[in-house]
A and B are shown apart, each in its own frame.
Chain A
Amino acid sequence: MSKPEAVKEPSMDMQKAMIARNYEAITSKHETGRKVSNTFVPGNLNELLMCFDIVNNLPEINAIQAGMRKASGGYIMEAEKSGHSEDVCTYVKADIGQMSKGNIAPNGKPYPVPDVLMLSYTGCYTFMKWFELLREEYKCPTLMLHVPYEGDGHSTKNMRDYIVKQLKEVVIPGLEQVSGVKFDIDRLRQYLKNSAKAEDDLVWCLEQGKVKPSPIDAYFGGVYYIGPIFTAFRGTEDAVSYYEMLRKEVQGRIENHQGPMTPEGTYFNDQKYRLIVEGPPNWTNFREFWKMFYDEGAVVVASSYTKVGGLYDQGFRHDPDNPLESLADYCLGCYTNLNLPTRVDLLAKYVEEYEADGLLINSIKSCNSFSAGQLMIMKEVERRTGRPGAFIETDLVDPRYFSAANVKNRLESYFQMIEQKRRGGGSKTVAA
């Protein structure tokens, strides 16, 4: 979803340029007169915001950017000094702490006060409080779209109607007011058409994890693949071109029997272990973390993190013929809005379909939405697939919680366990 250094492939350069343009659009709002909305990644309404010419700024992505630039640690301490608890989501604290340090975007210019906080409340409780906190800071209007949780394993007509009604009666009039632009449903349809096209290509790319050797890394590489579609670009022509380009790159690697490219610029062909990974990555030590995998020959063939902004591989596409209903279904179906049994089903299915050696969970200390109950997920997936699971613990953007030695040890024992299993031994969990 963001950029470490050592970008090598053309698609990565293209994405980098897109992100730079978006930061420029955000930070130049006073010159251009464009309106800016802050919103979240899962369940974002990018196509809808585009209908009002609103630029999309994502605090989670800003926190990730800060994490990768090694700035988040200081921001988090700053937020904790001002009364925020050490126990809560570190994205929130990175975002809030950044404000007291000038609120500077990656392009060196200050983030402007948003014109609206578009609170798409999907899959994570923290979102709601985060925007209540930002509202206090920015004193700008907040539009709340409440997306019910799929607690009983499916969405209902009532949930969908509720979301559509909020879109019609709260969100759209609110965005019209903020932007002064009248809503045009045909414009929305056009954007949704672009979304569906890009989604087709993304799914194709993600599914190539089934090929051996895998031409993609669906976790460390995956965070780049999902970048445009999960953020400010879904619905744009740029995103359509990006995914066409990505698809060609992946196709090229398949033809050459190549694995994905590592940050060191080498192709990772010698793949010994195929993993499914659950949970977000750590961002402060992203490259070091990734290296621990490819150094040992472990490639991630599918992950749940690449589904936080939509389960396109399970068939969902934005639908220009049913625009608002399709936005509702999109919000309902984001990964963390699914209940635990559904998450278990999905992960077990990935282990089988991608012929993985097992499930690795990266449990994030400050993210209850993903983490609460992950030990159960691991045990269930192990039980169903007969393949061993492992559990590591890191944090998103708080460098205090990344212990390289610890993670490395766990991974090494896990790979040994997989070896044992291959030789016909029993499976045993590597857990905390």
Chain B
Amino acid sequence: MSGKNKSVADIMAVCQEMFEDLNFNYARKWKAAKEGRKVIGFLPVYSPIEMIHAAGCLPLGIFGGGDQMEVIHGDAYYQSYICRIPRSTIELGVTNRLDFVDGMIFPFVCDVIRNLSGIWKLMFPNVWSKFFDTPQNYDKSIGGTYYIQELQELKEGLETLTGRKISDADIQRSIGLYNENRRLIREVYAFRAKQPWLAPTSEVYVLMRAGLMMDVEEHNQMLKDYMAAAAKEDRPKRDNVRISIYGSFCEQPPLNLIKSIEMAGCYVVDDDYSLNNRFLMVDVPTTGNPLEALAITYLENSVETSCKYVPDGKVKGQFHVDAVKACGAEGVIYATPSFCDPALLDRPMVCNKLSEAGIPYIAFKYAENSGQMQPIREQAGTFADSIKLWS
């Protein structure tokens, strides 16, 4: 993957292929390349993938089936009034697309993912699976103590699965690599916020998705290559408005939806798509007790998203206002998967805060297989026009 002369098109070809590949050939090949290798799937929104990496396994982000997969079996498990990601994830499972996956981590997200973890245990009793509960109490001695022990149990689970001990040095090395990954991702985001015409979100998005399915060192190189190549691209700057997208942290929209928003005259300068590798906002210390380092960073420096409790009502939603200001967005699109409890219950609170801060917003719902883009394009276009006219 590395090489100085990679063009954006070269990099995008790789990312696009991974994005579309519902047989996960990259991960299959990675696993087959060395005897004893194991792959651990994880669902959105946040799992400590450093731990999986430290166990010598490939962390594989599972983001549902997107818009290319027909859900047939999944509908027999989840009713129609539940978001689509659990159904298409089951579809991936029952159609043997995940038959090479040795373990699954279901993070704390919402009731749907919680129940999905149980379905997985019933359907695939031979696959190691773990419900990973992150604390909602952010006091070091309370939530921190609990979280360190949860990480310890995760570590032991991975050790049993792989048959090999994970040392502190292993975890620290992985933390170092993911620190670099997070730093580079922040750089890509900053690059996009500064010159969004050079780094369209339809590209940045697949670049980030690919990162959650591949070896971290390879992705680090890819991020560097992308920034170098994108800076050299000759792309005209348009009279687009700058917007942030929030509410899309779990079930992801179809790529066409992102493209439609861009085509409607919006530059996306911040988003909460595939959040996992941006969940921790600062470097995790690589010295001392690594479990403690991960836990404390989670408690003190992780993003505010609907899956987390905000203890202080006064600052609820302020995170989003600050993020909008930091990236220089002129408005917010609050885009949520249909039936998504976390995003939809949060929406009035976050949007109120945006209003108070004088930030215009619109809201709509989507599904990972939404096909009709015309209404979205119209809505986003009208929103962009209104910002141009009134702001």
Asked whether, in the complex, the Cβ of B153 is within 8 Å of the Cβ of A373, the reply is no
Judged by a CB distance under 8 angstroms, whether B121 is at the interface is: yes
Mark contacts of A78-113 with chain B using CB atoms, 8 A cut-off: 1 yes-contact digit, 0 otherwise.
Answer: 000011110111001000000000000000000000
Judged by a CB distance under 8 angstroms, whether A52 is at the interface is: no
Which of the segments A42-50, A122-130, A231-239, A248-256 contacts the partner chain? Answer: A122-130
Task: Given A121-B136, A380-B122, decide whether A372 and B115 contact each other with a Cβ distance below 8 A.
Answer: yes
Asked whether, in the complex, the Cβ of A166 is within 8 Å of the Cβ of B133, the reply is no
Which A residues are CB-close (under 8 A) to B115? 339-340, 368, 372-373
CB distance from B329 to the nearest CB of A (A): 21
Bound complex: CA A148 to CA B79 (Å): 26
Which of A84, A139, A156, A373 contacts B313 (CB under 8 A)?
Answer: A139
Question: Which parts of A124-140 form the interface with B (CB within 8 Å)?
Answer: 124-126, 128-130, 132-133, 135-136, 139
CB distance from A39 to the nearest CB of B (A): 16
Asked whether, in the complex, the Cβ of B349 is within 8 Å of the Cβ of A374, the reply is no
Asked whether, in the complex, the Cβ of B118 is within 8 Å of the Cβ of A373, the reply is yes
Which B residues are CB-close (under 8 A) to A165? 141-142, 145-146
Judged by a CB distance under 8 angstroms, whether A149 is at the interface is: yes
CB distance from A119 to the nearest CB of B (A): 8
Bound complex: CA A220 to CA B346 (Å): 34
Asked whether, in the complex, the Cβ of B131 is within 8 Å of the Cβ of A149, the reply is yes
Which of B82, B132, B133 contacts A368 (CB under 8 A)?
Answer: B82
Asked whether, in the complex, the Cβ of B346 is within 8 Å of the Cβ of A129, the reply is yes
Asked whether, in the complex, the Cβ of B79 is within 8 Å of the Cβ of A85, the reply is no
Asked whether, in the complex, the Cβ of B345 is within 8 Å of the Cβ of A130, the reply is yes
Which of B112, B121, B133, B342 contacts A129 (CB under 8 A)?
Answer: B342
Asked whether, in the complex, the Cβ of A158 is within 8 Å of the Cβ of B114, the reply is no
Asked whether, in the complex, the Cβ of A146 is within 8 Å of the Cβ of B82, the reply is no
Scoring A83, A85, A169, A339 by chain B CB atoms within 10 A of each residue's CB, the highest score goes to A85
Which of B123, B137, B143, B349 contacts A136 (CB under 8 A)?
Answer: B349
Bound complex: CA A148 to CA B131 (Å): 10
Asked whether, in the complex, the Cβ of A158 is within 8 Å of the Cβ of B79, the reply is no
Question: Which parts of A328-385 form the interface with B (CB within 8 Å)?
Answer: 339-344, 363, 365-366, 368-369, 371-376, 379-380
Which A residues are CB-close (under 8 A) to B136? 121, 128, 144, 146
CB distance from B8 to the nearest CB of A (A): 38
Asked whether, in the complex, the Cβ of A158 is within 8 Å of the Cβ of B146, the reply is yes
Asked whether, in the complex, the Cβ of B342 is within 8 Å of the Cβ of A341, the reply is no
Which of B112, B131, B338 contacts A372 (CB under 8 A)?
Answer: B112
Which A residues are CB-close (under 8 A) to B77? 373, 375-376
Task: Given A158-B149, A162-B146, A379-B76, decide whether A149 and B114 contact each other with a Cβ distance below 8 A.
Answer: yes
Which A residues are CB-close (under 8 A) to B385? none
Judged by a CB distance under 8 angstroms, whether B390 is at the interface is: no
| A146 and chain B: residue at smallest CB distance | B136
Which of B123, B133, B342, B348 contacts A151 (CB under 8 A)?
Answer: B133
Judged by a CB distance under 8 angstroms, whether A152 is at the interface is: yes
Asked whether, in the complex, the Cβ of B346 is within 8 Å of the Cβ of A372, the reply is no
Mark contacts of B150-194 with chain A using CB atoms, 8 A cut-off: 1 yes-contact digit, 0 otherwise.
Answer: 100100000000000000000000000000000000000000000
Task: Given A339-B131, A369-B111, A380-B122, decide whether A83 and B348 contact each other with a Cβ distance below 8 A.
Answer: yes
Asked whether, in the complex, the Cβ of B351 is within 8 Å of the Cβ of A83, the reply is yes
Asked whether, in the complex, the Cβ of B79 is within 8 Å of the Cβ of A88, the reply is no
Task: Given A125-B342, A148-B133, decide whether A136 and B118 contact each other with a Cβ distance below 8 A.
Answer: no
Judged by a CB distance under 8 angstroms, whether B272 is at the interface is: no
Judged by a CB distance under 8 angstroms, whether B339 is at the interface is: yes
Bound complex: CA A344 to CA B122 (Å): 10
Which A residues are CB-close (under 8 A) to B142? 162, 165-166, 169-170
Which A residues are CB-close (under 8 A) to B32? none
Task: Given A135-B313, A149-B133, A151-B133, decide whether A126 and B345 contact each other with a Cβ distance below 8 A.
Answer: yes
Judged by a CB distance under 8 angstroms, whether B309 is at the interface is: yes
Chain B: how many interface residues by the 8 Å CB criterion? 58
Which A residues are CB-close (under 8 A) to B143? 146, 162
Question: Which parts of B334-373 form the interface with A (CB within 8 Å)?
Answer: 338-342, 344-349, 351-352, 365
CB distance from A123 to the nearest CB of B (A): 9
CB distance from A80 to the nearest CB of B (A): 11
Judged by a CB distance under 8 angstroms, whether A393 is at the interface is: yes
Which of B121, B133, B345, B351 contacts A341 (CB under 8 A)?
Answer: B121
CB distance from A371 to the nearest CB of B (A): 6
Task: Given A151-B106, A341-B122, decide whether A83 and B313 contact each other with a Cβ distance below 8 A.
Answer: no
| A128 and chain B: residue at smallest CB distance | B309
Which A residues are CB-close (under 8 A) to B145? 161-162, 165
Judged by a CB distance under 8 angstroms, whether A432 is at the interface is: yes
Asked whether, in the complex, the Cβ of A136 is within 8 Å of the Cβ of B313, the reply is yes
Which of A83, A129, A139, A343 contacts B341 (CB under 8 A)?
Answer: A129
| B308 and chain A: residue at smallest CB distance | A128
Bound complex: CA A156 to CA B133 (Å): 12
Asked whether, in the complex, the Cβ of A132 is within 8 Å of the Cβ of B82, the reply is no
Task: Given A129-B345, A142-B313, A152-B131, decide whether A340 and B81 contact each other with a Cβ distance below 8 A.
Answer: no
Asked whether, in the complex, the Cβ of A368 is within 8 Å of the Cβ of B351, the reply is no
Bound complex: CA A432 to CA B82 (Å): 14
Asked whether, in the complex, the Cβ of A84 is within 8 Å of the Cβ of B348, the reply is yes
Which A residues are CB-close (under 8 A) to B80? 432
Which B residues are CB-close (under 8 A) to A342? 118
| B122 and chain A: residue at smallest CB distance | A341
Which of B119, B133, B137 contacts A144 (CB under 8 A)?
Answer: B137
Which A residues are CB-close (under 8 A) to B121? 153, 339-341
Mark contacts of B104-141 with chain A using CB atoms, 8 A cut-off: 1 yes-contact digit, 0 otherwise.
Answer: 00101011101111110111000000111101110101
Which A residues are CB-close (under 8 A) to B214? none
CB distance from A83 to the nearest CB of B (A): 5
Asked whether, in the complex, the Cβ of B137 is within 8 Å of the Cβ of A368, the reply is no
Bound complex: CA A87 to CA B316 (Å): 22
CB distance from A325 to the nearest CB of B (A): 15
Bound complex: CA A129 to CA B316 (Å): 11
Asked whether, in the complex, the Cβ of B114 is within 8 Å of the Cβ of A151, the reply is yes
Query: What is the interface of chain B, defined by CB distance below 8 A to chain A?
Result: 76-82, 86, 106, 108, 110-112, 114-119, 121-123, 130-133, 135-137, 139, 141-143, 145-146, 149-150, 153, 306, 309-311, 313, 316, 338-342, 344-349, 351-352, 365
Beyond known contacts A170-B137, A372-B86: 11 more, CB 8 A cutoff = A126-B111, A142-B311, A146-B135, A146-B137, A149-B131, A158-B153, A161-B145, A166-B137, A169-B141, A368-B112, A372-B114
Query: What is the interface of chain A, defined by CB distance below 8 A to chain B?
Result: 82-85, 87-89, 92, 121, 124-126, 128-130, 132-133, 135-136, 139, 142, 144, 146, 148-149, 151-153, 156, 158-159, 161-162, 165-166, 169-170, 339-344, 363, 365-366, 368-369, 371-376, 379-380, 393, 432
> Could you show 12 A-B contacts with beta carbons less than 8 Å apart?
A125-B114, A149-B114, A151-B130, A158-B153, A162-B145, A165-B146, A340-B117, A340-B118, A340-B122, A368-B112, A372-B112, A376-B123
